Structure 1
Amino acid sequence: CSGKERLYLLSDFLSAFLKHSSSAVFDLLEDYHNLCLDKVEVLQKVVQRAGASSRTAGVRWILQQESSTWRLMTSLYRDRVQSALEEDIDMTSEKLVVEQLFQRDAVIRQGQLVVDWLESIAKDQIGDFSDNIEFYAKNVCWENTLHALKLRRRGSVGLSIPLVTELDPDAPLRQQRPLANLDREDDTRLLKNLLTLIRAGMTEEAQRLCKRCGQAWRAATLEGWKLYHDPNMTSGLGRLTPVEGNPNRRIWKLCCWSLSEELDRYERAIYAALSGNLKALLPVCESWEDCVWAYFRVLVDSLVEQEVTSSVLLKRLITKEHGEHHHVIQRLVILGDLDGLMEEFSDWLSSSKPLPSHLLRFMTHLVLFYSSLGIALKEEVCVAVLQSYITLLIEEQQSELIASYTSQLPTALAVQRYASYLEGVSQTEQQRRALHLAADAGLDVAAVTQLVVEAVRERDGPEFTPHTHTLETNTTQDDQKKIDVIDWLLFESAHRAEALKQSNAIMRRFLAVQKHEAAKAVFSKLPADSVKEVQRQWAGLQPDTPLPAEDLNAIREHRCIQAYLEAHEAFSDWFSHSSSAPQKPVPASQAKFTERVANEMRENEYQVECTAWRGRLQVLVDEVKERVYQVLLFADGWMINTPEVRGEVSERSLQMALLRSLCVPRLSFLLLSVLTSSSRHQEALQLADVLVFSKEDLRRFLQKIRESSLMLLDCGLDALGYT
């Protein structure tokens, strides 16, 4: 199956899944079946040319198995859904299976009533049975044989008849040797009485008799008829309760049947009654009631065994079969063992060997089918299957399919998974298309894009680590990713408020490490009307209500950062201009007249350039001063929330406080340097009226002020610049 054909099938399955509603699940299964069948027919022609051993033949077989499984599920679940009115029982419990059988089948129910009636009659006839058997009850089994063997071992008496040499329950049959005569007579009498008790429905009394006679092993053989039931599978209780019945009941029945054809008359009849062997049971029936009892008991027994075999035994035998993935799925689907199916899926996904893409697609749509029926499966396994399939789609670059399957995950996980996928989408048109598909699939696009931005923004770690001395201020490749990630929030104007908040957060980090160019790049990403757009959207929603404090503070912070960037840009312009002063021409030595004239012309041009340069420099100094003062005198304080959110001590507020402690002194020193180098010392001194510093910054600032004061004194003025 070529890559193109495989991708075509992936797309077709999604189309079929989206086309049918949850109420048309069987139409969906029919479409799945037909899609696989069509592909099988195409591949069959290729196999005929390439041979049965080709890789295509293997893919054809996989799709053929999948097609068959979809058809099987259509048949089974159509019947199961239509039979939903029946009680939901645990098909692993023989007891529950038989109880359900008695509830729905009048024949077996009435047959059991006949058996119960006949057994009650027999019970009334035998009376107090214990009074009639105490005369031979012993605590030791086969005590006469045991006594004879002890005498022989001591050499006291010889034995004329070869008795058994061992006394385990199987010894007479295994060694083909008899017991002592008295023991054989006791056994015959015991077996006849056991049969009488069983005929009266008193099996538990028969077991107690066996124990009193020292034959606990025989009591155990009468125990195996009990139907198996594990209440822990359905109780939902927090504690374990004992398991009932015999989990190997079928094997016990087969052994009883075998014994009913090998042993003596009464023992044969006992095991015949337990195994449903009518032929071995009838010879001991002495009355019409006994015969009717035998027939009805065997009838009920056969119907019960048939039901158990078809529901429970099938499960036990078939679970021992191992095979290809699709065979395992088919087996568990037939049995309705969804827990087992989930366990298999979990094992396959955790295997080091990657699953075939067709199988993973099949598993995914199988899980989605059960979900559409409202059948509860193990959520962690379903999520793992979907996650694996989404990973496959990403690897296959099936961008048109990813959103639909991601939306099938739990909401929070779906947002996280799709955001993780979007981090790798870089082209603008692909980003726009991915968000459109997400919206169509019902994903929370706002939450997705916010998570994308936050993931990229905090990729270096959530710590906010400002540095007063940064070695590298150039924009790196990782920085550029943080800049470009804002694009995710700009496709829809409805996300403009979030774009403001996220861009502020990114710029805070850049400003902390003095990456001003990167911060300006983020700022320039936002449309110029972003603040007005946020206000307009809110006015459309709540025309008579002011913006929430969170949005107001985001707008304010945006303007704070704008003021800082403008101030820093003004300083950069000043620094660039101040570093490009006109170069004074060097006059030529021993110049002739023409050369002297040329020197004078160059000198005049230099003076003109210097005048223009100084004039421009003073304008730039004024520009730096104005921009820096806009930061220093920002209304209600630069990088301070207004209105304050009462009781809030957020990471954002801490970062803003750190930026104030870094950026305000930084700008102040820049302005001080500009004013000092321009000999505007009196204006430099006036900075002290508006600044508040830490002790270290204050020490540095006062040192700079001292230098300006000395310069003013040298000019004949006082220390503050006055005459």
Structure 2
Amino acid sequence: MDQSASMDVDSISTPRVSRFQETSRYTPIYSTPQSFSSDLFVPSIINSSIASLGTSLNDGIYFINDIIQKYAEVYENARSQEDITAVPKTYEQMCDEYSKTLREESSGMFNSDSRGYRIWEAERNTWNVLKLLSQYRFTPIKNIDEARKPFQTDGQLLCELLATNKDFAEAWIVRQWLWKIAPEFVTVETNPEYRSFTKNSILLNLKKRNSEEYKYLDPDGAHRTRRALDSLDQEHEKELARSIFEYLRRGQVDDAMDISNKNGHFWRTASMSGIVLYNEKVDDDIITTIGNINRHIWRATCYHCANQESLYIYDRAIYGVLSGDYENILPVCRTWEDQVWAYYHSLIECQQDEYFSKHVRHMGVNDDDDLPINTKVIPPNEIFEIVESKRIDRDLDIERFHIIQKLIILNDSKELVKRLKEELVDKRLSREDETAYVHFLRLATHLILYLRDLMLPTPDKESDHIIRLYTELLIEYRQNKLIALYASKLPRDISIEIYASFLKDVTASYTERHKLFKLAEQYGLNVIAIARETFELIFKEIESADKHGAVFDVRIIALKELINPIEIIQIRALEWLTFNKEQHREALKLGNTLCRRFLASGKMNVAGKIIMEIKNSKSPLSHIRYEKLEDDEIDTVYVEHQNYYNMIEYYNQYEIWWKTWKSKPKKINSKEMSDWNKSIKEATSSLDTLFHKFLESYVFDFIKETNNMMTDEDEIRIRELERVMDIYIPNAVLRHHKALYETREIIPTNLEKSFNLANTVVEENSDLSMHFVRSKKLQALLMALRDSYLEILKKNPKDISNVLYDEQKFN
């Protein structure tokens, strides 16, 4: 190895670095007492301002909706970037902004609720560790092909270890992460005069006592002589030891040394300076050495000091950090993060020293020197088992995040998804606790989506269930523009079901609903199947024909009667099938089905509304108008639709006729009577034309025109059509008889027409009589024909041959 090359440890981004760095971009960890900036130990995060929160954090649902929208925006925009850490990096920044804002709001005089910002901080930490480990795990490892040099410094060996040992590098990253997320603390108040209170006490008593008794102000004096310092000095040194430990806990060795110097404890600075790795430094082509060449001896000494029971607990913890002895660090650990850090720090120190000892050492003690450090190396999976068994902070909110962080560190995506499912699907986390539930569900969903983007194994059933829960939550919170995005991440059948279920209850304008349809199309959802399912869900709310009771009990609702809101929604369901041209014929077919169902229950007004909407060029349903097929092929869907149109047209004309008939003037010889006679003749003539058009449309039996086997759907359709004809054909015949019979004086030929309706009913090619039998309207028809019969006899008693002939045929 070229000894002029600087050996660096990339402690800012990823430890996967080459052993050969042409330029000194990074400062080695623990490299020099003059360079202990905290930036060396904590990955730098680029600060970017998040858009204004827009709403107060106390606005409840509005704040939740704002967060939901921002997360969707980040996922949609950042996932396509080449940087694998782009998504978790942005999520982390958002969480940091929210946690800071909530911390400020919760710090007010009348607001002491800290739950909100603690949850946001926990999520921020989760995205941070995922970002760091993803960056490392998905960065190609550079090969190290050169032969080992006979002489290597500790710094060079560490770079080699980081570049070749994946587990060690990941542990290094985890420790950096644990350094970064440690909370702020209040450091000791500076007292630059060393043990000033004890010194002043000695000076006051020099004349009274033997001064030799008080010569114990050296750093080890109190411990050596077992003489107590002044109580104020004791308290200050305890606080100083605690502050030094807290700095070391955060990887801030430079700050630990600085606080020692400021308080006159230079010996503490000297004892900590041994942590610097022996390395080479190049300055103006001059190679110099830095660091502790006998670091293993220094570490063993620190280990011995850490196990001195007479020392203060934080002093022992400091030496535990310096030597990597977790046993003496754990007593001062207050949180889950502290404990995990203690074990990981020990793991790194032990593996690092073990690696150094396997290779040729530089100058130092002989190999046979006895330097015992009885610290057991504990692998990561066991670390978390131990920490969880000794958990000291039982915050259930934060504990859920610790589970996620643990499994991210252990790189177990399958178990991670299963644990998320246990919390959300198995109801360990109550839906009633909306704050925690919504927060955790959102996090779980975006974690799963990110893991899927990384092509990591995620159990399909559990993953889909969680994403579905989140999509349903978006529906509940009316985040209409986001539903298609998340539904597209579900399997085809589930995405169809959930999006159709959402669209079913949307009552916005046609334009707005079209936008939702286009969103589904944009995200690759099966829009044709969704539109069909949406209609079916609404359609199921209409009772089948079999549940409408007997035919003869049905009351036909007049076309002019108002339609209730539910029926309007059912009609508008057809509009979902108009957005795609490929579904227009299907829409017409389903429109026929709707007409049959409504007509079967007597709701002629609703069926009429459907028919008129299709005919109205300004209606969305006009898109499904019939288009002529090639070669004049008969389309049964169109034929059925035309039949309903003819029926509605006749009944509508009858209502016009009836209204005209009821408006007959009282004065016989008047202009009003003359105008009325003209109007009633026109209305009756038009009614007669539409009547025959209506009946002729049923002469061709399009239901049974094919010899193919009928499906269950065909059989249902036949039963419904028969019911519709049983209701409306007899009723139409009786109404038409009334119109003809009542106008016999105005239009004399109508009397004979009224009686000849019998021929229409019994004609062999139509045989409409069965509908009168099933509807129990035959008696009513006979009575109507009897009136016509008697009236004919009354007017011309001698000419009865034709009447008798017709009567004989009918019987």
Distance 1:24 1:616, change over 3 A: same
Q: How far did 1:631 drift?
A: 1.8
Q: How far did 1:341 drift?
A: 3.3
Give the whole-Å Cα distance in 1 for the aligned partners of 2:419 and 2:689.
72
1:569 is matched with 652
CA contact (8 A) 1:639 1:657 kept: no
Choose which of 570, 589, 594 in structure 2 pairs with 1:501: 589
| Amino acid in the other structure paired with 2:690 | R
Deviations 1:664-685 (A, max 9, x none): 2222222222222233332123
2:753 is matched with 683
Alignment of 1:177-576 (within 5 A): 306=377, 309-320=378-389, 321=391, 323=396, 324=398, 325-349=400-424, 350=427, 351-352=429-430, 353-356=432-435, 357-428=438-509, 429-462=511-544, 464-466=546-548, 467-470=551-554, 473=557, 474=561, 475-528=563-616, 552-576=635-659
CA contact (8 A) 2:84 2:134 kept: no
1:15 is matched with 73
Give the whole-Å Cα distance in 1 for the aligned partners of 2:608 and 2:786.
35
Q: How far did 1:636 drift?
A: 5.0
Q: How many residues were matched structurally?
A: 476
Q: How far did 1:583 drift?
A: 2.3
Give the whole-Å Cα distance in 1 for the aligned partners of 2:513 and 2:782.
53
Distance 1:341 1:527, change over 3 A: farther
Counterpart secondary structure, 1:720: helix
2:311 is matched with none
Give the whole-Å Cα distance in 2 for the aligned partners of 1:653 and 1:504.
13
| Amino acid in the other structure paired with 1:678 | T
CA contact (8 A) 1:318 1:331 kept: no
Choose which of 685, 702, 705 in structure 1 pairs with 2:782: 702
Higher Rg of the two aligned structures:
1
Deviations 1:382-430 (A, max 9, x none): 2332233223323333222122112212212112211221222212143
Counterpart secondary structure, 1:500: helix
Counterpart secondary structure, 2:802: coil
CA contact (8 A) 1:30 1:71 kept: yes
CA contact (8 A) 2:417 2:448 kept: no
Counterpart secondary structure, 2:499: helix
Q: How far did 1:451 drift?
A: 1.9
1:132 is matched with none
Distance 1:711 1:554, change over 3 A: same
Distance 1:409 1:354, change over 3 A: farther
CA contact (8 A) 2:84 2:135 kept: no
The normalised TM-score by structure 1 is 0.59
2:266 is matched with none
| Amino acid in the other structure paired with 1:634 | S
- Supply the RMSD in Å over aligned alpha carbons: 3.5
Alignment of 1:72-91 (within 5 A): 72-81=129-138
Structure 2: gaps (5+ residues):
1-56, 143-163, 166-373, 745-749, 762-766, 806-811
Give the whole-Å Cα distance in 2 for the aligned partners of 1:39 and 1:328.
22
CA contact (8 A) 2:614 2:622 kept: no
Structure 1: gaps (5+ residues):
86-103, 106-301, 585-602
Distance 1:706 1:358, change over 3 A: same
Give the whole-Å Cα distance in 2 for the aligned partners of 1:389 and 1:496.
33
Q: How far did 1:642 drift?
A: 5.8
Counterpart secondary structure, 1:526: helix
1:37 is matched with 96
CA contact (8 A) 2:487 2:498 kept: yes
Give the whole-Å Cα distance in 1 for the aligned partners of 2:699 and 2:499.
41
Distance 1:379 1:559, change over 3 A: same
Give the whole-Å Cα distance in 2 for the aligned partners of 1:638 and 1:580.
39
Counterpart secondary structure, 1:414: helix
CA contact (8 A) 1:684 1:705 kept: yes
Give the whole-Å Cα distance in 2 for the aligned partners of 1:54 and 1:532.
60
Q: How far did 1:493 drift?
A: 4.6
Alignment of 1:147-162 (within 5 A): none
CA contact (8 A) 2:417 2:459 kept: yes
Distance 1:630 1:412, change over 3 A: same
| Amino acid in the other structure paired with 2:99 | V
Choose which of 52, 56, 61 in structure 1 pairs with 2:118: 61
| Amino acid in the other structure paired with 1:497 | R
CA contact (8 A) 1:639 1:656 kept: no
| Amino acid in the other structure paired with 1:317 | I
Q: How far did 1:503 drift?
A: 1.8
Distance 1:23 1:648, change over 3 A: farther
Deviations 1:341-364 (A, max 9, x none): 344333433244334322221111
Give the whole-Å Cα distance in 2 for the aligned partners of 1:618 and 1:656.
33
CA contact (8 A) 1:65 1:326 kept: yes
Deviations 1:187-207 (A, max 9, x none): xxxxxxxxxxxxxxxxxxxxx
1:713 is aligned to 2:775: no
Counterpart secondary structure, 2:676: helix
Deviations 1:486-522 (A, max 9, x none): 3333445554223312221211122112222211211
Distance 1:458 1:64, change over 3 A: same
| Amino acid in the other structure paired with 1:10 | I
Deviations 1:303-325 (A, max 9, x none): 9x85xx41542353345456432
CA contact (8 A) 2:545 2:601 kept: no
CA contact (8 A) 2:589 2:637 kept: yes
Q: How far did 1:66 drift?
A: 0.8
Deviations 1:434-478 (A, max 9, x none): 222222222222222222222222214455544443358343232
CA contact (8 A) 1:566 1:627 kept: yes
Q: How far did 1:339 drift?
A: 4.7
CA contact (8 A) 2:381 2:410 kept: no
The normalised TM-score by structure 2 is 0.53
CA contact (8 A) 1:709 1:720 kept: no
Give the whole-Å Cα distance in 1 for the aligned partners of 2:441 and 2:530.
26
| Amino acid in the other structure paired with 1:406 | A
Q: How far did 1:338 drift?
A: 4.1
Distance 1:641 1:458, change over 3 A: farther
1:245 is matched with none
| Amino acid in the other structure paired with 2:735 | L
Counterpart secondary structure, 1:690: helix
Distance 1:483 1:388, change over 3 A: same
Give the whole-Å Cα distance in 1 for the aligned partners of 2:693 and 2:543.
33
Distance 1:688 1:527, change over 3 A: closer
CA contact (8 A) 2:126 2:405 kept: yes
| Amino acid in the other structure paired with 1:712 | I
Give the whole-Å Cα distance in 2 for the aligned partners of 1:355 and 1:24.
34
Choose which of 599, 610, 614 in structure 1 pairs with 2:677: 614
Q: How far did 1:333 drift?
A: 2.5
1:671 is matched with 736
CA contact (8 A) 2:643 2:698 kept: no
CA contact (8 A) 2:587 2:624 kept: no
CA contact (8 A) 1:439 1:445 kept: yes
The structure with the largest helix share of the pair is 1
Give the whole-Å Cα distance in 2 for the aligned partners of 1:532 and 1:432.
13
Give the whole-Å Cα distance in 2 for the aligned partners of 1:703 and 1:84.
99
Q: How far did 1:698 drift?
A: 4.2
Give the whole-Å Cα distance in 2 for the aligned partners of 1:366 and 1:455.
32
Counterpart secondary structure, 2:450: helix
CA contact (8 A) 2:543 2:597 kept: no
Q: Which range is displaced more, 358-367 or 664-673?
A: 664-673
